[in-house]
Structure 1
Amino acid sequence: MKLKQSLIFFKSAALAGILVITVGCVLIYEQMAKNATMTRKMDMLQNSINQLVDQEAAFITDRTLHGGVAEIKPLVGAYSLQQQSLLSEIESIPYLFERLQALDKSVHEFAMVYEQMVSLQALVGFDQQSGRYGRFRDAAHALQRESENSNDLRLTTLILELRRREKDFLLRFDSVYLQMHEKLIEETSTYVSKLGQSKETLQPLLVTYKQNFDTYVDILQKQGLTPNQGLRGESKLAQQAMRLQLSALSEVLIQHSQLETERLIWWVLLLMVVITTANYALLNYLNGRISNDILAINKTLFKVTKNEDFSLRIDSKGNDEIAQISHQLDELLEFIETLLSRLSAAQQRLIEEAKMAGLGNMVSGFAHELNTPLGIAITSHSHLKSKMETLREDFDSGKLKKHTLSELISEAEAAMTLLENNLMKTANLIDDFKEVAVHQRQDCKSEFSLKSLIKGVLDCYESELVEPEYVVTLEIPDNLYLFSYPSAFNQIFRYTINNCIKHAKIEGKPLVITLSAKVVNDYIHLYCKDDGHGISKDLLPLVFEPFVTSKRNQGGTGLGLSVTYNLVTQKLEGEIKMQSLPQGGVCIHIILPNTTFNLKD
């Protein structure tokens, strides 16, 4: 598989992951919204049931509720509306549907019991003037009036006791008071039956009172004198069943919502894991392919740059884009190798030509330098030979005179002196030329003070470095000792100082020469600075070549800096540079990394 195809597949997998996350988030949001809706409807259903239960509790507490069964129907209707709303959400879920149906059955049973209690209460009476309660109270009040009008103390006492037991029972709903009440009715009925004319009025009132009171008590017993009796007991059981069903439905609904949400989240996570795993596998594959090829390319290029070996090849396998880059780099390395071989051959030819040209320049310069003293020597020799022939002719002819001989001797002495000086100059020139090869002279290593050695060199130029024309400054530590070739250092400083004297001096201006040395990172740095004429830009790159000089017409040979360069680079294994200073003059900078030194206390 090529990288382009792999990247397209990787992008597609990434887009699929984004799509799954987006769709999953939408589905989870919808599921959470659905859960919230179901929870809200469940809360509303529970509120409607609570209103029905609260209404029943209020009725039990205060039975003077007006409206009768009509007060129940709106609450039952509100419950049915909420039940239908919730049913529309869960009718496709069997176990939730069953729970809701069971709850609905319990609610309707509770409502039916509540309706029966209200219907019975309608018979009893919703206030003191209606129903059975109102009738027996009216009868009781009539009995009290009749007893008072009869001026019968016994009857009045019986009626008052009867009313007291009536109120005790109605306040406490205790059967003991009811039995006492029944006993008093019998006793009152017996007493009334013994009366005369008042019997006809009191007896019907007493019968009416007893019938209505017994009916009232019977209805109360059906409703339930205590919370666990009669319809109140049934209502209590219906409430318990209803609350259990409501709690069970709420719990199952919450579990269902959590389960659906968790199932959806797990599916989204599973798809994400699958897509992420596929992406990781593909990324790992791409990483392996790309990393291995790039590492191979990097390793090969590192070896090429480090060893300058362009014969190395990457030899990548495959046909993808990275492999194509590797093949193209192999072709490039092969082209560079061919080009370098051609360049090396051309360079070798140029070096040989340069060597021949340099040798020609060196021989030409050396011949030019030898030409002047040797020409003078030959001329002196010719003049001396001519004078000697004249002397021989005068001597043979007998014309030799004393003053002629004296003049000849003087001219001969002058010619011999001139001949000797020029031959000596020629010999010195040949010696200087030989010193271009540093290793020709034997020199042993030894420890010496650099500052003392340079002072010794300056002593040799004491007659030339006369103040105020020359100012020499030494910036060299007194405790700097070197273990090296003292003769080489002697020649180096002799040539550099001589170069300053011959080339740097500006007429009418003192020449300041500064010789300094310091140690930086275990390297010896030597400086020879002056503020003289300086050097031209054209001549600066050539200053260390033999016979390069700007004072050829004034006796300069051009070998001093060449000898210095060979001594520094070959014998001392260092580096030498010449810099043209912006403020005027030049600076010769010598760096010696391999020279042993010691800073003595």
Structure 2
Amino acid sequence: MKLKTAFISSQVALLISFIVVLTCGAIIYQKVANHYRITQSLTDFKQVLSDTVNLQQEFSLDKDEQMLEWSKEQFDDYSQLHFALFKQVADIKIAARLLTQIQEAMRQFEQNLNKQIAIQKQLGFNEDQGIRGSFRKSIHAIQAVSQKINDQTLEITILELRRREKDYLLRWDKKYLELHKQTLVQIKVYLQTHNSELKTQLIDNLKDYDYNFTQYTALLDTMGQSSTLGVAGKNKVLSQVINERFTNLSLLLNERAKDASNQVLFITFSVTFVFLTFSLLSSFLINRRIGYGLFKLNAFISSICQSDTFSMRSNIRGDDEVTDLAKNIDNLLAHIEELINRLSLAQKRLIEDAKMASLGTMVKGFAHELNKPLGIAITSESHLRDQVEQLKHSFNQGTLQKNTLEQMILDAENCLSLMESNLNRSANLINNFKQVASHQEYDELVEFNVETFLNNLFDSLKHELDKYDVNVSVEATNGLVIKSYLGAFNQIFTILIVNSLRHGSEPNKTLNINIVAKMVGATLHFRYMDDGAGVKESLLDKIFEPFVTTKRAKGGTGLGLSIVYNLVTQRLKGEIEFQSIEGEGVCIYLHFDEVDYNLKFDEQ
């Protein structure tokens, strides 16, 4: 499979995983938000439910006339929150059923509470209202009559009756009610025997008191004398039922929200796990293939760099982009190999052309230099021949004189001396030329004295030097002999000297050329300097590139320094540095490591 296809599939899987996570996250957020809303509604409902149920306790503690109004407002609030919560959980059958049951219990609770309020309204919200006010009014009338007739027995009995009444109403103990009834019977018996004209009024008042008090206690029993009795007891049971159902409702909603969240999380995890596993597996296979291919290509390129050959091939097989890359690298290597072959051929041609050019320059200079001593020798020979002819003529005529013979002998000696010195100079020139020309053509490893080589080179270029106002100097370690390619060094310094003459010389200014050669350790250092026109800064970065010249209009080819660079770095395995400031000349450093050298001194 193509790496691109696998990569796209992996990215699609990651995208799907991301979308699934976002979608499930949105669902979870919606679930959580919905649960939060339900929880908030549940909290509000719990609060209003608690406040509504607490109405029973509040009514039991404080029987206020406004309780009916308060309860109505409270039940209205409850109904609103119940309706809102029911709408939120209507799709949950059990929750809706629990809310319905709570509503039914609350409806019964409300009826019971309203019934208690109605009973309390009959009983009276204070001592002067309702049935309580009636029996209190009757007993107070009896007390007033007893005081009026000054009947202390009746008055004491009435006080006893009032005490039993209060004991029962405060303690809700049946024994006090029985004592109350017994006291009431005693009063009735006593009034039957009473002789006062107010007897009938007292008996009527006592009947009213008995009737109202009996009705009062009956209604209290109906309403509930304590929180566990009567209608109040029913509401207590209902409040417990309501609280239990609300607790169940709360637990149900929380469990359902938890289950829903867990379900969504499980689905999210499962789907994400599947797609992430696919994505990771694809990524692993892609990385493995790319890594293996890159490692192999890296090793292949390293072997190319170490072997310094471009004929090797990667041999990576497959049907993906790594294989395509390997094939492209192989094609590039083949192209580079072809270019290198072309460049090698071109370089060889350039070097041969440079050799021939420098050899032609040397031949021209040699011919020019050889012409002088040979001309002097020929002139001396011609003069000597004329003198011999004169000597023969005087000898044949018999007119030869001693002083004439002596003068002729002196001239002959001078001519022979001139001929000998100039012929020797010609022989030296021929030997130097043969040596340089031979090494330039065949360029084999030979031993040569560096200082002598440089001096001979300047001598061979004397015909060029004579055309310019130039001073040359050589500073070399005395007796320094190296074993290297003499022809290459001859080409290098010939090109450098000719470049200085043709590009560095300026009108009305003497050009100074200085070459320094010395050994530092096992490294041979050359410093070539001139104080000519120098090179523009814009050309320094490309000075060794082929065909870079400022004299193209005057026949310059721009190949000189390129040939020098190739000879130094490839033929001689050295390094070259070029420095120049325009108007102040050039300075070129040549460094050759691990040179086979020794010091040889001429014996005196």
Deviation string for 1:10-34 (max 9, x for gaps)?
4533442343234223322322232
**8 Å contact from structure 2 (residues 380, 419) kept in 1:** yes
- Equivalent position amino acid for 1:224 in 2: G
1:158-173 correspondence to structure 2 within 5 Å: 158-173=157-172
Rounded Cα–Cα distance in structure 1 between residues aligned with 2:522 and 2:184: 137
Rounded Cα–Cα distance in structure 1 between residues aligned with 2:519 and 2:212: 135
Most deviating of 203-212 and 521-530? 521-530
Deviation string for 1:289-318 (max 9, x for gaps)?
444445544544454455442222233433
- Equivalent position amino acid for 2:148 in 1: N
Rounded Cα–Cα distance in structure 2 between residues aligned with 1:287 and 1:72: 75
Most deviating of 341-350 and 304-313? 341-350
Counterpart residue number, 1:144: 143
- 1:158 CA displacement: 1.8
Unaligned 5+ residue runs, structure 2?
451-470, 484-488, 545-564, 598-604
- Equivalent position amino acid for 1:267 in 2: I
- Equivalent position amino acid for 1:256 in 2: R
Counterpart residue number, 1:118: 117
- 1:408 CA displacement: 0.9
- 1:528 CA displacement: 6.5
- 1:359 CA displacement: 4.5
Counterpart residue number, 1:226: 226
1:312 aligns with 2:312: yes
- 1:72 CA displacement: 4.9
- Equivalent position amino acid for 2:155 in 1: T
Rounded Cα–Cα distance in structure 1 between residues aligned with 2:254 and 2:235: 28
**8 Å contact from structure 1 (residues 576, 589) kept in 2:** yes
Indicate how the Cα distance of structure 1 residues 359 and 424 shifts in structure 2: closer, same or farther if over 3 A, else same: same
**8 Å contact from structure 2 (residues 311, 333) kept in 1:** yes
Counterpart residue number, 1:2: 2
**8 Å contact from structure 1 (residues 439, 571) kept in 2:** no
- Give the SS at the match of 1:318: coil
Counterpart residue number, 2:276: 276
**8 Å contact from structure 2 (residues 310, 336) kept in 1:** yes
Counterpart residue number, 1:32: 32
**8 Å contact from structure 1 (residues 128, 134) kept in 2:** yes
- Give the SS at the match of 1:589: strand
- 1:60 CA displacement: 1.0
Counterpart residue number, 1:410: 410
Indicate how the Cα distance of structure 1 residues 412 and 531 shifts in structure 2: closer, same or farther if over 3 A, else same: same
Deviation string for 1:140-166 (max 9, x for gaps)?
122112212222122122223322332
Counterpart residue number, 2:383: 383
**8 Å contact from structure 2 (residues 524, 595) kept in 1:** yes
- Equivalent position amino acid for 2:376 in 1: I
Rounded Cα–Cα distance in structure 1 between residues aligned with 2:532 and 2:334: 53
- 1:38 CA displacement: 1.8
Deviation string for 1:23-57 (max 9, x for gaps)?
22332232223213322332343233223223222
Rounded Cα–Cα distance in structure 1 between residues aligned with 2:482 and 2:510: 29
Counterpart residue number, 2:181: 182
- Give the SS at the match of 1:311: coil
- Equivalent position amino acid for 2:269 in 1: L
- Equivalent position amino acid for 1:272 in 2: T
- Backbone CA RMSD of aligned residues: 4.9
- Give the SS at the match of 2:591: strand
Rounded Cα–Cα distance in structure 2 between residues aligned with 1:120 and 1:518: 133
Rounded Cα–Cα distance in structure 1 between residues aligned with 2:571 and 2:304: 32
Counterpart residue number, 1:454: none
Unaligned 5+ residue runs, structure 1?
445-469, 477-481, 542-564
Deviation string for 1:142-193 (max 9, x for gaps)?
2112212222122122223322332343344455544443333233223222
**8 Å contact from structure 1 (residues 572, 595) kept in 2:** no
- 1:505 CA displacement: 12
Deviation string for 1:454-477 (max 9, x for gaps)?
xxxxxxxxxxxxxxxx9x9x9x9x
1:257-406 correspondence to structure 2 within 5 Å: 257-304=257-304, 307-345=307-345, 347-348=347-348, 351=351, 355=355, 358-359=358-359, 361-406=361-406
Rounded Cα–Cα distance in structure 2 between residues aligned with 1:414 and 1:392: 19
- Equivalent position amino acid for 1:192 in 2: L
- 1:588 CA displacement: 5.4
**8 Å contact from structure 1 (residues 65, 126) kept in 2:** yes
Counterpart residue number, 2:46: 46
Indicate how the Cα distance of structure 1 residues 127 and 6 shifts in structure 2: closer, same or farther if over 3 A, else same: same
Indicate how the Cα distance of structure 1 residues 26 and 586 shifts in structure 2: closer, same or farther if over 3 A, else same: closer
- Give the SS at the match of 1:313: coil
Rounded Cα–Cα distance in structure 1 between residues aligned with 2:347 and 2:591: 29
Q: TM-score, normalising length from structure 2?
A: 0.72
Rounded Cα–Cα distance in structure 2 between residues aligned with 1:338 and 1:221: 122
- Equivalent position amino acid for 2:191 in 1: V
Indicate how the Cα distance of structure 1 residues 149 and 298 shifts in structure 2: closer, same or farther if over 3 A, else same: same
Most deviating of 144-153 and 85-94? 85-94
- 1:275 CA displacement: 2.2
**8 Å contact from structure 1 (residues 59, 65) kept in 2:** no
- Equivalent position amino acid for 2:220 in 1: L
Indicate how the Cα distance of structure 1 residues 519 and 41 shifts in structure 2: closer, same or farther if over 3 A, else same: farther
Q: TM-score, normalising length from structure 1?
A: 0.72
Rounded Cα–Cα distance in structure 2 between residues aligned with 1:270 and 1:247: 34
- Give the SS at the match of 2:226: coil
Rounded Cα–Cα distance in structure 1 between residues aligned with 2:58 and 2:570: 121
Counterpart residue number, 1:479: none
Indicate how the Cα distance of structure 1 residues 236 and 186 shifts in structure 2: closer, same or farther if over 3 A, else same: same
- Give the SS at the match of 1:378: helix
Counterpart residue number, 1:217: 217
- Equivalent position amino acid for 2:188 in 1: S
Rounded Cα–Cα distance in structure 2 between residues aligned with 1:134 and 1:578: 131
Most deviating of 576-585 and 92-101? 576-585
